Structure 1
Amino acid sequence: MADSNSGDTEAHRSSDPNGKRGGWITLPFILVTLLGMSITSFGWIMNLIVFLIEEFNIKNIAAAQISNVVSGVVNMLPVVAAILADSFFGNVPIIAASTFMSLIGTSLLTLISSLDYLRPRPCETDSILCQSPSKPQLGVLYLALALVIIGSAGTRFTLASAGANQYTKPKEQASFFNWFFVALYTGAITGTAAIVYTQDNVSWKLGFGLCAVANLISFIVFIAGKRFYKSDKPLGSPYTSLIRVLVAATLKRKAVITSKEEDYHHSDLEKESKTSASIPSDSFRFLNRGALKNDEASVSNKWRLCSVQEVEDFKIVLRLLPLWAAEMFLATPVGVQMSMTVLQALVMDRELSPHFKVSAGSLQVIVFLSGCVFIMLNNWTIYPLYKKLIRKRLTPLQQVGIGHVFTILSMAVSALVEAKRLKTVDDNGHPMSVLWLVPALVLVGIGEAFHFPANVAVFYGEFPESLKNTATSLTSVVIGISFYLSTALIDVIQRTTPWLPDDINHGRVDNVYWVLVIGGVLNFGYFLVCSWVYKYRNLKNDDQKRDLKDVTT
């Protein structure tokens, strides 16, 4: 009998499709896919404003707004991709389908830039009358953008999850994420610098063609590694449990909340672990009804009866929402600043030498570079030095606060530079060098080096274990919403003030920056209140045994 069982076990192992899959053999396939998709995504999106202005005769401010909407969708859709992967298809099919759709989209953009009848006629020299794009031309353009948006969104965070799933040890997963961010930033810098430079100085056809080639390589490499990937079965979206708690509490809104342990439902896993609370906490008491047992709530009906742990997990998310909102209002002015920076660069002297001209859309590479440099400096020098001198670690929320300060400073510097640029225009002098924009962009990168990894550390460390994917996707949602808010803010300013005409030489972009400074200061005050009230659940201030550098890298 023992031999028989042993044989059955071995047969089961040999038939397990994931038995010999995963591990470091998958790393080259994942990283090459990520590198190619990053080059593709940043290659088309970073210069989208200039493409719309030069090739489709769209007005400057309208182009900036379209670009913000596109960037917002790119950052919102990863949540949808995560839900589809978790609930229905798994990561590998979602990534494969997304890279293929992106390939069709980049190929279509290449076609648009190659065929004259897919674009309006160029504006005549020294003429303010330009032909607007026709509905069919806009239809083809929007179709291409929709495909590349879906492709970018479907791979950005699912590649991270798929790669981490190939390893079982936390140390190996941490090492994978280090390589993941190296590939991500390398692709972002390459797309923002090399591809955008090609579009501006050679041709849009070649620039988008290179994006398509990078995309094609990503698709082929990812498919080639399919037989090595370890695929996890879809287990259901973590968002479902959050919705169930709210629905169950609402359906039982008239039930009387008690303080007796036997009146609340605990899952079998909670009973075995004995680590969950016996009764729900007093905060957000309305939600306690979700776990309250009564005659109408059957254990088999999860939409009417949730466990105590599910209720407490939802409460943890609610406690983090104020900090999430502060991060959103921090990212919004940065979205406006990036759009205005492109418009400023278009009317500045971008020639650094007789043979080299800076591309307006590639200026954000400065943010990436300074951000990368200071993330490394923070982890290896600044944070350890602070701990040695103060004998305390900088908590994640303290790091976020420092990021707030640098972001506000960047807005102030941008305002001062723009005021000086406008004075130069009024004096009919030579256009200012685009290098004047560099200090503000460096400050943005330094700010992101402080607040972006720290925000991830807060959400990832504080969220319930069952909702770690939700914690990661929240950062993407914040960025997406901030782009929409920045678009709305630009629209409001344009409608209510004369500061943003199509020709910004006759506007007051410096006043826009001062508005962002005021908003940043108010948001910083709000963040200080939220961080003072918030109590860490997992992360400790002083005797923190877990190295935060592993979280923030």
Structure 2
Amino acid sequence: METEAPALLHRARGGWITFPFFIAMGGLLALASGLSVNLITFLKDEFHFEDADAAKINNYVNGTLTFIPIIAAIIADSFVGCFSVICFSSVVSLLGVVMLLLSATVRHLRPPSCEKGSIFCKHPTPLQAALLYLGLALLSVGNGGTRFTLASMGADQLDSTKHQGIFFNWYLFTLYVANFVSVTLMVYVEEHLGWGWGFTIFTMANLVGLVVFLCGTRFYRFVTPNGSPFKSLACVIIAAIKKKKMPLSPQSGDYHHDGDGLNSPTPFFKFLNRAALKREEESSTKIVSPWKLCTVQQVEDLKRLIKIVPIWISGLILCIPIAVQMSYMILQGKTMDNRLNSHFKIPVASIHVCSLLATCVTISLLDRLVFPIWVKLAPTRPPTHLQRIGIGHVITIVSSIVAALVESKRLSQARSHDHKVVPMSLLWLAPQLAIVGVSEGFHFAGQVAFCYQEFPASFKNTATAVVALTVAGGFYSSNLVIDIVQRATAWLPNNINKGRLDNVYWLCSGIGALNLVFYLVCASSYKYHKS
């Protein structure tokens, strides 16, 4: 009875009772990181940075938010587990927000006020700049270390892949809602009530999120890390190379199993099977170096990751058209009429709300309406994650086509009127952004659920963070595409009214179409792992 008690306690924890704690913390921390939405304005207005310097700092912040999840996931998987990483990262994020609050409210911690654009504006002193950079670094590292690790731990509380998929849907929905609040309400607070009020709200959101998360500790299921999974992968590769001349055996007993319950290793990438093939001297001893002999399970885990790589590459390419649209959306908007009526102008950056709203609506409709109906009509063939991602590919191509058509019309208006501001409403950008949002509702949530389901158990936290790396790779690749276009054509001059941005969008449509073909080939040959 004594040995069964811990197992019963382990099973008693977790479940949907933990859902509110993870959703609340995810939303509040996402809101706390929302200051990056209007960060360039803060740097220019309060610290008098030049445009280029402010943009670089903003890129560093967003880059850190994108790459830190991978590092946090590796630490969680290998050493301390999700709970410790989440708590530590939340405290780091809170310290960062507090430093930024001090920079915004304490007069001596920022340069003196001056008229915008004045040549007499003073730059920050080394101490002021150091405090600002430290606050931004802590916020970026802390929030980046929490976002996807929190998603992984939340999914660990549920047992079925169906329930885990539902959790990911609503977790991402919450993040998008928090981003929507940042783009609208928080931007208004910062620009009309003051940066001090804005950072105070961010600080309280971070603090309340951490408290709420800790309040649910007694309900959580904790997964103990089993050491670095990357060491295991390296062992398989090294062991296979050392035994490259050994002939493979069809007999299951010739391979090292260590109680994993598997038969002979699969024929896929059979070169790696040698890592689990026992030499004569290894069969007679119980202690063998892991760099010389691995289990069949370790070999199959590496193979699972190799099978996922083509799907991951297609996801990276999928982000390129989206990144190009987002990069040039602001430049397009600045040349368009942003008046909603005679009394109100739409901030150009706020047009991004169309994408956020579309994603939120899409995720909720898929989870509450479309997928339940699908299951009722075809109970033996429920929708798969790869089908969902594939639909996202198609919709992304449609968004690029719409963007090309809208830009063609904008260019026609610009050339016929020969003005810096085109007599064309900013709302013309709304359809393409809404379509992008719908595509993200399909492919982004699908990628998170797919990676979590298909990655080996020892890589569960890394699995969700890999999606962030996909987005980062897509944005960096889009810069490469833009550089190539600028060198090879005259489509992207400094004045976009004199260029052919519509041709760039047509190029993105072509990239998306070729990538769709590549994805369909990969997805059709992919076989889901059976737990």
If the TM-score is normalised by the length of the shorter chain, which range does it land in?
0.7 to 0.9
Question: Does the alignment pair 1:411 with 2:403?
Answer: no
Moved more, 286-295 or 386-395: 386-395
The whole-number CA distance in structure 1 between the counterparts of 2:162 and 2:469 is: 28
Aligned-pair CA distance for 1:58:
4.1
Question: Does the alignment pair 1:522 with 2:507?
Answer: no
* Amino acid across the alignment from 1:523: N
Classify 1:374/1:225 alpha carbon distance in 2 versus 1 (closer, same or farther; 3 Å): closer
Aligned-pair CA distance for 1:229:
4.4
Aligned-pair CA distance for 1:39:
0.9
2:278 to 293, 303, 313: 293
Moved more, 365-374 or 458-467: 458-467
Partner of 1:377: 365
3-state DSSP class of the match of 1:432? strand
Partner of 1:277: 263
Question: Does the alignment pair 1:110 with 2:96?
Answer: no
Classify 1:431/1:147 alpha carbon distance in 2 versus 1 (closer, same or farther; 3 Å): farther
Partner of 1:476: 468
The whole-number CA distance in structure 2 between the counterparts of 1:312 and 1:472 is: 20
Classify 1:415/1:202 alpha carbon distance in 2 versus 1 (closer, same or farther; 3 Å): farther
Partner of 2:26: 34
Partner of 2:290: 302
Contact 1:118 1:137 survives alignment (8 Å): yes
Partner of 1:3: none
3-state DSSP class of the match of 2:206? helix
Partner of 2:236: 245
Moved more, 129-138 or 454-463: 129-138
Matches within 5 A, 1:113-132: 113-114=104-105, 115=107, 118=110
Contact 1:330 1:404 survives alignment (8 Å): yes
Aligned-pair CA distance for 1:317:
1.6
Moved more, 106-115 or 83-92: 106-115
1:206 to 173, 197, 200: 197
Classify 1:519/1:123 alpha carbon distance in 2 versus 1 (closer, same or farther; 3 Å): farther
* Amino acid across the alignment from 2:276: A
2:313 to 325, 332, 343: 325
Aligned-pair CA distance for 1:435:
0.9
Moved more, 455-464 or 154-163: 455-464
Matches within 5 A, 1:209-224: 209-224=200-215
Aligned-pair CA distance for 1:506:
5.3
3-state DSSP class of the match of 2:226? coil
Partner of 1:550: none
Q: Deviations over 1:110-156 (max 9, x none)?
A: 344455874698786599x9988787666544433321211111111
Partner of 1:98: 89
Task: Give the TM-score of the pair, scaled to structure 2.
Answer: 0.83
Aligned-pair CA distance for 1:357:
3.7
Partner of 2:140: 149
The whole-number CA distance in structure 2 between the counterparts of 1:194 and 1:467 is: 37
The whole-number CA distance in structure 1 between the counterparts of 2:487 and 2:124 is: 24
Classify 1:458/1:94 alpha carbon distance in 2 versus 1 (closer, same or farther; 3 Å): closer
The whole-number CA distance in structure 2 between the counterparts of 1:218 and 1:90 is: 19
The whole-number CA distance in structure 1 between the counterparts of 2:498 and 2:116 is: 22
Contact 1:200 1:359 survives alignment (8 Å): no
1:443 to 406, 430, 435: 435
The whole-number CA distance in structure 2 between the counterparts of 1:257 and 1:141 is: 60
Task: Give the TM-score of the pair, scaled to structure 1.
Answer: 0.80
Aligned-pair CA distance for 1:497:
5.4
Matches within 5 A, 1:253-268: 253-268=244-259
Contact 2:76 2:461 survives alignment (8 Å): no
Classify 1:374/1:226 alpha carbon distance in 2 versus 1 (closer, same or farther; 3 Å): closer
Moved more, 386-395 or 109-118: 386-395
Aligned-pair CA distance for 1:341:
1.6
Contact 1:82 1:158 survives alignment (8 Å): yes
The whole-number CA distance in structure 2 between the counterparts of 1:19 and 1:394 is: 29
* Amino acid across the alignment from 1:472: T
The whole-number CA distance in structure 1 between the counterparts of 2:76 and 2:413 is: 54
1:316 to 304, 310, 323: 304
* Amino acid across the alignment from 1:405: V
Count of residue pairs the alignment pairs up: 522
Q: Deviations over 1:325-381 (max 9, x none)?
A: 001110122123222223333443333245544333333332222122223334555
The whole-number CA distance in structure 1 between the counterparts of 2:326 and 2:245 is: 50
Classify 1:249/1:130 alpha carbon distance in 2 versus 1 (closer, same or farther; 3 Å): farther
Classify 1:45/1:357 alpha carbon distance in 2 versus 1 (closer, same or farther; 3 Å): same
* Amino acid across the alignment from 2:309: L
The whole-number CA distance in structure 2 between the counterparts of 1:398 and 1:17 is: 37
* Amino acid across the alignment from 2:311: L
Aligned-pair CA distance for 1:292:
1.9
Classify 1:497/1:346 alpha carbon distance in 2 versus 1 (closer, same or farther; 3 Å): same
Classify 1:481/1:73 alpha carbon distance in 2 versus 1 (closer, same or farther; 3 Å): farther
State the percentage of identical aligned residues: 41
Aligned-pair CA distance for 1:53:
5.9
**Unmatched segments (≥5 aa) in structure 2:** none
Question: Does the alignment pair 1:349 with 2:334?
Answer: no
Contact 2:169 2:367 survives alignment (8 Å): no
Classify 1:36/1:461 alpha carbon distance in 2 versus 1 (closer, same or farther; 3 Å): closer
Partner of 2:424: 432
The whole-number CA distance in structure 2 between the counterparts of 1:520 and 1:373 is: 24
